[in-house]
Structure 1
Amino acid sequence: MKAIVDADECTGCELCTQTCPEVFDMEDDIAIVKGDSVAGEFEETCRQAAEECPVECIVIED
């Protein structure tokens, strides 16, 4: 699974980093994905972060 953050849409609310800090981090007040793919044990919380994103800027690719 892969997570992608649309940096143009991200408002920097940090909700994703609070929900799934293993996958998401902040850089220059914009969320970033830490690695190329999401480890299996973090897939559920990563999907939760994408669903909870207030501006829907996180895309999940299976």
Structure 2
Amino acid sequence: MALMITDECINCDVCEPECPNNAISPGEEIYVIDHNLCTECVGHYDEPQCQQVCPVDCIPLDPEHVESHDKLMEKYHIITAA
């Protein structure tokens, strides 16, 4: 599964630099996560780094983008090969 940022986001700017895949960017009102780039940090870290630093706990799993660990690892290899 990719992650998503909910409307509880306070735009604190701490998540964006933590993403190793550059999947997080400023949206119109709050930060957004590109599900095509989000691997939940699989391949980089044991846990999603954005969730670790988020002070308001507004980065849950995105139920609309369900992916297995193997699929996330495959995506990681594609992203890092580019």
Is TM (by shorter chain) over 0.5?
yes
Q: Which has the higher contact order (CA 8 A, sep 6+)?
A: 1
Q: What is the deviation of 1:39?
A: 3.5
Which position in structure 2 is the counterpart of 1:56?
57
CA distance in 2, matches of 1:47, 1:6: 16
Taking only aligned residues, the RMSD between alpha carbons, in angstroms, comes to 2.7
* Letter matched to residue 32 of structure 1: V
CA distance in 2, matches of 1:46, 1:16: 13
* Letter matched to residue 26 of structure 1: P
| Unaligned ranges ≥5, structure 1 | none
Q: What is the deviation of 1:10?
A: 0.2
Instruction: Give the TM-score of the pair, scaled to structure 2.
Output: 0.57
Instruction: Give the TM-score of the pair, scaled to structure 1.
Output: 0.71
Larger strand share, 1 or 2: 1
Q: What is the deviation of 1:35?
A: 2.5
Q: SS at 1:18's partner residue? A: helix
Q: What is the deviation of 1:23?
A: 1.4
| Unaligned ranges ≥5, structure 2 | 63-67, 69-82
Which position in structure 2 is the counterpart of 1:32?
32
The structure whose Rg is larger is 2
Contact 1:24 1:33 in 2 (8 A): yes
CA distance in 2, matches of 1:56, 1:5: 9
